[in-house]
Amino acid sequence: MGSGEGIRIVIANQKGGVGKTTTAINLGASLAVGGKRVLLIDMDPQANATAGLGFEQVPISYRFLLGEMPTEKVIKRTEVENLFLIPSGIDLVGFEVEFSSTEDKHFILSKRLEGLTGFDFIFIDCPPSLGLLTVNALVGGQMVLIPLQCEYYALEGLSKLMNTIEIVKEGMNPELKILGIVLTMFDGRTNLSKQVEEEVRKFFPKQTFRTVIPRTVRLSEAPSFGKPIFLYDASSSGTIAYTKLAEEFIRRIENER
Which helix (DSSP H) or strand (DSSP E) does residue 244 occupy?
Answer: helix 237-256
Give the nearest distance from C-beta 129 to Mg ion in angstroms: 11
Min separation Cβ 26 and ligand ATP, Å: 9
Name the residue nearer to Mg ion (CB basis): 93 or 172. 93
The amino acid that residue 36 corresponds to is: K
d(CA 182, CA 176): 18
Q: Is 14 in the site for Mg ion (CB under 5 A)?
A: no
Query: Which partner in Mg ion, ligand ATP, none is near 146 (CB below 5 to 8 A by kind)?
Result: none
CB of 21 to ligand ATP, least distance (A): 3
Binding piece for Mg ion, criterion CB under 5 A, among 16-24, 115-123, 161-169, 189-197: 16-24
Contacts of 143 (CB under 8 A, 6+ apart): 7, 8, 9, 10, 176, 177, 178, 179, 253, 256
Nearest distance in Å: CB 1, ligand ATP: 27
Q: What is the rounded CA–CA span in Å between residue 39 and residue 8?
A: 9
Residue 33 to residue 38: CA distance in whole angstroms: 10
Question: What's the closest the beta carbon of residue 135 comes to ligand ATP, in angstroms?
Answer: 16
Taking alpha carbons only, the member of 115, 177, 166 closest to residue 141 is 177
- Determine, following the binding rule CB under 5 A, whether residue 88 of this chain makes contact with Mg ion: no
Q: C-beta of 2: minimal distance to ligand ATP in Å?
A: 29
Residue 21 interacting with Mg ion (CB under 5 A): yes
User: Whole-angstrom Cα distance, residue 226 to residue 223?
Assistant: 5
**Cα 69 versus chain centre, distance:** 23
Residue 184 interacting partner from ligand ATP, Mg ion, none (CB closer than 5 to 8 Å by kind)? ligand ATP
With beta carbons less than 8 A apart as the criterion, state whether 49 and 83 touch. Answer: no
- The reply to whether 20 sits near Mg ion by the rule CB under 5 A is yes
Residue 185 binding target from ligand ATP, Mg ion, none, CB below 5 to 8 Å by type: ligand ATP
Binding range to Mg ion, per CB under 5 A, among 46-54, 111-119, 153-161, 162-170: 46-54
Least gap, CB of 118 to ligand ATP (angstroms): 26
Q: How far apart are CA 58 and CA 50, in angstroms?
A: 9
Binding test (CB under 5 A) with Mg ion, winner from 48, 50, 57, 236: 48
If the CB atoms of residues 87 and 223 are measured against ligand ATP, the closer one turns out to be 223
87's contact among ligand ATP, Mg ion, none, with CB below 5 to 8 A by partner kind, is: none
What is the number of helices (H) and of strands (E) in the chain? 12, 7
Q: How far apart are CA 11 and CA 161, in angstroms?
A: 12
Compare residues 115 and 246 and give the one whose CB is closer to ligand ATP.
246
Element (H, E) at 86: strand 83-86
Applying CB under 5 A, the residues found at the interface with Mg ion are 20-21, 48
